[in-house]
A and B are shown apart, each in its own frame.
Chain A
Amino acid sequence: MSFFIETLVGGLLAGVMYSLVAIGFVLVFKASGVFNFAQGSMVLCAALTFVTLRDKGIDFWLAALITLAVMVLIAIAVERVVLRPLVNRPQITLFMATLGVSFVIEGLAQIVMGASVHELDLGIVDTPIEIGGVQVSQFDLIAAGTAGILVVALSIFFNKTRVGIALRAIADDPQAALSIGIRLQTLWQIVWGVAGFVSLVAGLLWGARQGVQFALTLVVLKALPVLIIGGFTSITGAIVGGLIVGAGDSLAEIYLGSLLGGSVSTWFSYVLAVAFLLIRPAGLFGEAPIERI
Chain B
Amino acid sequence: MSGPILQLRDVSLSFQGIKALNALSFEVARGEICALIGPNGAGKSSLLNIINGVYRADSGSVTFNGEQFIRIRPAHAAHLGVGRTFQHNALFRHLSVLDNVLAGLIRHSRTTLLEHAFGVGRDRRETREFKRRADEIIAFLDLTRHRDTVVATLPYGVQKRVDLARALVGRPSLLLLDEPMAGMNQDEKHEMSRLILETNASLGTTIVLIEHDMSVVMGLSHHVVVLDYGRKVGDGSPEEVRKNPDVIAAYLGTAH
Per the CB under 8 Å rule, do A and B touch in the complex? yes
Residue ranges of A at the interface with B (Cβ–Cβ < 8 Å): 290-293
Interface residues of B in 23-70 (CB under 8 A from A): 45, 49, 54
Are B87 and A293 touching (Cβ within 8 A)? yes
Is B86 part of the binding interface, using a Cβ–Cβ cutoff of 8 Å?
yes
A290, A291, A292, A293 pick with most chain B CB within 10 angstroms = A293
Cβ–Cβ contact B15 & A293, under 8 A:
no
- Is B88 interfacial (CB 8 A cutoff)? yes
Count how many pairs of residues, one from A and one from B, have CB atoms less than 8 Å apart in the complex.
Answer: 11
Min CB gap A222→B, angstroms: 33
CB distance from A28 to the nearest CB of B (A): 25
In the complex, residue of chain A having the shortest beta-carbon distance to the beta carbon of B178: A293
* Chain B neighbourhood of A291, CB < 8 A: 54
| Bound-state Cα–Cα, A291 to B86, Å | 13
How far apart are the CA atoms of A290 and B15 in the complex, in Å?
A: 8
| Closest-CB distance, A193 to chain B (whole angstroms) | 33
Q: Which residues of B contact A290 (CB under 8 A)?
A: 15
A-B pairs with beta carbons under 8 Å apart, 9 shown: A290-B15, A291-B54, A292-B45, A292-B88, A293-B49, A293-B54, A293-B86, A293-B87, A293-B88
Q: Give me 9 other A-B pairs in contact (C-beta within 8 A), A293-B49, A293-B86 excluded.
A: A290-B15, A291-B54, A292-B45, A292-B88, A293-B45, A293-B54, A293-B87, A293-B88, A293-B90
**Cβ distance A282 to chain B, nearest Cβ, rounded Å:** 13
> With A and B bound together, what is the CA distance between A290 and B88 in angstroms?
15
CA distance in complex: A292, B178 (Å): 12
Classify the interface of chain A: helix, strand, loop or mixed.
loop
Q: Is the interface of B mostly helix, strand, loop or mixed?
A: loop
Nearest opposing residue in chain A for B48, CB measure: A293
Query: Within residues 75 to 124 of chain B, which ones have a CB less than 8 A from any CB in chain A?
Result: 86-88, 90
**Which B residues are CB-close (under 8 A) to A292?**
45, 88
Find chain A residues with CB under 8 A from B54 CB: 291, 293
Greatest chain B CB density within 10 A among A290, A291, A292 is at A292
**B87 contacts which chain A residues (CB < 8 A)?**
293
Min Cβ gap A72→B in Å is: 37
**CB closest chain-B residue, reference A290:** B15
Give the nearest-CB partner of B46 in chain A: A292
Contacts of A293 in B (CB 8 A): 45, 49, 54, 86-88, 90
Nearest A residue (CB) for B84: A293
A293–B54 alpha-carbon span in the complex (Å): 9
**A291 CA to B45 CA, complexed, in Å:** 12
- The answer for the CA separation of A291 and B74 in the assembled complex, in Å, is 14
CB distance from B14 to the nearest CB of A (A): 11
**How many Å lie between the Cα of A292 and that of B90 in the bound state?**
11
Chain A residue at minimal CB-CB distance from B15: A290
Q: Which residue of A lies closest to B90 (CB)?
A: A293
- B49 surroundings in chain A (CB, below 8 A): 293
- For the complex formed, measure the closest distance between the CB of B230 and the CB atoms of chain A, giving whole angstroms: 16
Bound-state Cα–Cα, A232 to B140, Å: 48
Measured CB to CB, the closest approach of chain A to B19, in angstroms, equals 14
- Bound state CA distance, A143 and B49, in angstroms? 51
> What's the nearest-Cβ distance from chain B to residue A236, in Å?
19
Please, how many angstroms separate the alpha-carbon atoms of A292 and B44 in the complex?
12
Q: Which residue from chain A places its CB closest to the CB of B87 in the assembled complex?
A: A293
- A291 vs B15: C-alpha distance when bound (angstroms): 11
CA distance A290 to B90 in the complex (A): 16
A109 to chain B minimum Cβ distance, whole angstroms, is 37
* CA gap between A292 and B87 in the complex, in Å: 10
| A292 to B54 CA separation, bound complex (whole angstroms) | 9
Q: B88: which A residues are within 8 A, CB to CB? A: 292-293
Complex alpha-carbon distance, A291 and B90, angstroms: 13
CB-CB nearest in chain A for B16? A290
Bound Cα distance A243, B15 (Å): 32
Nearest neighbor of A291 in chain B, beta-carbon distance: B54
The 5 closest A-B pairs by CB, nearest first: A293-B86, A293-B90, A290-B15, A293-B54, A293-B88
List of A residues within 8 angstroms of B90 by Cβ = 293
Nearest Cβ on chain B to A90's Cβ, whole angstroms: 12
Closest to A287 in B: B16
- Closest residue of chain B to A288, judged by CB? B16
A37 to chain B, nearest CB (A): 25
User: What is the minimal beta-carbon distance from A233 to any residue of chain B, in angstroms?
Assistant: 15
A286 CB, min distance to chain B CBs, angstroms: 14
Expressed in whole angstroms, the minimum distance between the Cβ of A289 and any Cβ of chain B is 11
Which residues of chain A have C-beta atoms less than 8 A from B86's C-beta? 293
A291–B87 CA distance with the chains assembled, in angstroms: 13
Closest Cβ of chain B to A131, distance in Å, is 44
A293 to B74, CA, bound (A): 13
A197 to B57, alpha carbons, bound, how many Å? 46
Chain A proximity mask over B174-197: 1 for CB below 8 Å, otherwise 0? 000000000000000000000000
The CA-CA distance from A293 to B89 in the complex, in Å, is: 9
B146-173: contact bitstring with A at CB < 8 Å (1 yes, 0 no)? 0000000000000000000000000000
In the bound complex, CA of A275 to CA of B155 (Å): 44
B246: min CB distance to chain A, Å = 29
